[in-house]
Amino acid sequence: EAGVVQSPRYKIIEKKQPVAFWCNPISGHNTLYWYRQNLGQGPELLIRYENEEAVDDSQLPKDRFSAERLKGVDSTLKIQPAELGDSAVYLCASSRGQLVELLGETQYFGPGTRLLVL
Amino acid sequence: DAKTTQPTSMDCAEGRAANLPCNHSTISGNEYVYWYRQIHSQGPQYIIHGLKNNETNEMASLIITEDRKSSTLILPHATLRDTAVYYCIVGYTGNQFYFGTGTSLTVIP
């Protein structure tokens, strides 16, 4: 079974340019997460989807970040315009999203997209 | 917002057991303890999780104290490939994992 797929793996852009990251979760996983990981820190949640609905986007900087999961499967995270401080690794994760609290749901992570803003 | 406390770094000799501690004194009754690790330039990898009982799988063992306020991840025979940052996470707070900064484990030849 394929894991979480992300592309691109690396991206270098100049500040003020737009950038987009793509994620395809594990087949059958209803819940999808986008995390950002700064150098030397643990991942921090940006947004969580249950199917196509964004149920937690409180940490997403909405002035420049947007995300979508139109058909409840793959997802795109966009930054426009990018700033120097956006340089980080952007991680996508997925989980089955069923009976979460009772069953101790496990999140599975993709390899991440490493973004460098110059 | 981190709900766990871990040592910043640890060393372990190759072939020996690596015991990674984690304190989670504010854990609530229905929250699980998860362990993930992250090898350089890769996404976090799931290791193990548990609620009350000790757990074991092909990668590691998880020992949770009776009061559930702390736990220990045990890698029984550490190899060089186990060098990574290990995250102890208590969840599930609205499905959000608070990773903190983890423990950087170095396995020494």
pLDDT tens digit string along A90-117? 999 998 876 555 566 788 999 999 999 9
Interface of B with A (CB under 8 A): 30, 32, 34, 36, 41-46, 49-51, 87, 92, 94-102
* B95/A40 touch (CB, cutoff 8 Å), yes or no: no
Of A44, A104, A112, which is closest to B49 when you measure between CB atoms? A104
User: Among all residues of chain A, which has the CA nearest to that of B49?
Assistant: A104
Mean pLDDT of chain A: 91
Tokens of A4: 């979480």
Residue B43: partners with Cβ closer than 8 Å, 6 or more residues away: A4, A91, A93, A109, A110, A111, A112
Range scoring the smallest mean pLDDT among A100-114, B21-35, B80-94: A100-114
Cβ-count burial A21-51 (b if 16+ within 10 Å, e if not): bebbbbeebbbbbbbbbeeeebbbbbbbbbe
Q: How close A1 comes to chain B (CA, Å)?
A: 16
Predicted local distance difference test score (pLDDT) of residue A98: 61
Predicted local distance difference test score (pLDDT) of residue B92: 65
Mean local confidence (pLDDT), A57-67: 93
* B43/A91 touch (CB, cutoff 8 Å), yes or no: yes
pLDDT in tens, A63-89: 999 999 988 899 999 999 999 999 999
Burial class (CB in 10 A: 0-12, 13-18, 19+), B72: middle
A23 pLDDT more than 70: yes
CA triple B5-B39-B83, angle to 5 deg: 75
B30 pLDDT more than 60: yes
B91 pLDDT more than 80: no
Q: How close B96 comes to chain A (CA, Å)?
A: 7
Q: How close A18 comes to chain B (CA, Å)?
A: 23
Range scoring the smallest mean pLDDT among A27-31, A65-69, A79-83, B16-20: A27-31
* A44/B30 touch (CB, cutoff 8 Å), yes or no: no
